[in-house]
Chains A and B, each alone.
Chain A
Amino acid sequence: MINRRIYLGIPMSSRRNRRALVAGYWSVSVLLLICATILFFDDPRFLEHWWMAITIGLLVGLMLCFLGGGAQLGPVADFDGDPKPPPRWALIEAADRLIYRWKHGEAEQPLELNLDERDRRLRDHAHYRAYRILRMILQAAIIAGVLLFTRPDAWTLLRRYNFVLVPFSFLLILLLWNLPQSIILWNEPDMEEPR
């Protein structure tokens, strides 16, 4: 399920490194969300500034692609089994190959990118586990929503608490698009190094 031996200079064969990558990714994501909440989300019209819209769009796009899975930037293989990496990430691929050669003194052996039966089961099970986690979050959100919408001033309250809703929505989208990948990276055992 892991489609590269090295990613952004970090060896992906070791589970410890992959767990560090996942922990780092979520720490940075939450930190960015907190910063954005403090700086921008209090203003409900923050996206009207074109530079803000572009920055947030690029950042969200990068966060969604970072671990792979649906997009092939990250270390998790494409969930649909498409073995061809798109050319737009060629620069990162080339840099990682150079780092691998520098560390190991030989060219990186390409990994098998087609998903076999075990990979598909792993992918499906990771999605099931992610679904259960999101279900718990949704149950809490439903209770909060039911309590909120029994009030006649619900819409006014929603506008007033825009700085809570917007980061929660971003976090939900990040969870939806990256939780299965995180589970796969976290649980996959150490890979064998080529001899």
Chain B
Amino acid sequence: MNAEVVVLGRRISMARQTRRRTLVVAIYTVFALIMAIAWATTQWRGTGAYVIWAAILACRYFLGGYYAGGLVKPFNNKAPKEHQMPPPLLALKLRVYQPVPADDDGAYRNDERELHQRDHAHYLAFQAVGVAVCVPMFIASMRLIRPSLMSWIPMPPDAMYYGLTLVAMILFLTLPQAILLWTEPDMEEQS
């Protein structure tokens, strides 16, 4: 796991567990805010996808794992492909980037302990995502069997299923990395 991120040109140390936990809470708070604003403005019609883009950006710049950037090393244990193209405009404007690693790709490789942690985080995330996917199906079934049970919810059923599906997708994209960031102990203590 990387020990720092660079935001707006500032290096922020993430060696302490409390900082990483704060980052995880902040990221999920932002997701909740985006969903609330999108619901208030358009009932997620056409704007629900912004939440998914936000999750992808959070993975790309802060969480890592399935992307080369971010705190968690790439899960596939490979160095990222070298691009001839310049970095994206958003990254340049926000000055969000990763410190340049050593000349070999060793900085991207997970050791045995990190591979076990990666697999275990996926095991834990799998359970949560499994439940999150089942919830909209269960609610849809209950609504069909007993429509009166769901009549108190002040939201059209289709919008509710869509919102729950968005939540499940966000969890699917971010949960393994969030679990790793949450559970990894302070790095100073480890050394």
Do A131 and B46 touch (CB < 8 A)?
A: no
A residues contacting the other copy or chain, number (CB 8 A): 36
Nearest-neighbor residue (CB-CB) of B119 within chain A? A124
Write the chain A residue with the least CB distance to B48.
Answer: A149
User: Pick the contact of A154 from B45, B123, B137, B145 — CB < 8 Å?
Assistant: B45
Return the CB mask of A14-51 against B: 1 if under 8 Å, else 0: 00000000000000000000000000000001111010
Contacts of A125 in B (CB 8 A): 119
Q: Are B120 and A131 in contact (CB under 8 A)?
A: no
Q: Number of contact residues on B: which range applies?
A: 20 to 34
Give the docked Cα–Cα distance between A154 and B49 (Å).
13
Asked if residues B137 and A176 are in contact (CB atoms below 8 Å), the reply is no
- The residue of chain B having its C-beta at the shortest distance from the C-beta of A130 within the complex is B126
Verify A124–B141 contact, CB threshold 8 A. no
Please, what's the 1-or-0 string for A138-168, where 1 marks a CB less than 8 Å from any CB in chain B? 1000100110011010110011000000000
A121 in contact with B116 given A47-B144, A48-B144 (CB within 8 Å):
yes
Q: Mark B78-91, 1 if CB is under 8 A from A, else 0.
A: 00000000000000
Please tell me if the beta carbons of B119 and A149 are within 8 angstroms of each other in the complex.
no
Residue on A nearest B43 in the bound complex, by CB: A155
Q: Answer whether residue B118 sits at the interface, using C-beta atoms and an 8 A cutoff.
A: yes
- Summarize A's interface: helix, strand, loop or mixed: helix
Give the residue name and chain of the B residue nearest to A177 (CB): B130
Q: Residues of B with Cβ closer than 8 Å to A?
A: 45-46, 48-49, 52, 66, 75, 116, 118-120, 122-123, 125-126, 129-130, 133-134, 136-137, 141, 144-145, 158, 169, 172-173, 176
Interface residues of A (CB under 8 A from B): 45-48, 50, 53, 57, 79, 121, 123-125, 127-128, 130-131, 134-135, 138, 142, 145-146, 149-150, 152, 154-155, 158-159, 169-170, 172-173, 176-177, 180
- CB<8 Å pairs between A and B, sample of 20: A50-B145, A53-B144, A125-B119, A127-B123, A127-B126, A128-B118, A134-B172, A135-B172, A138-B169, A142-B52, A149-B45, A149-B48, A150-B49, A152-B45, A154-B45, A169-B137, A173-B130, A173-B134, A176-B126, A176-B129
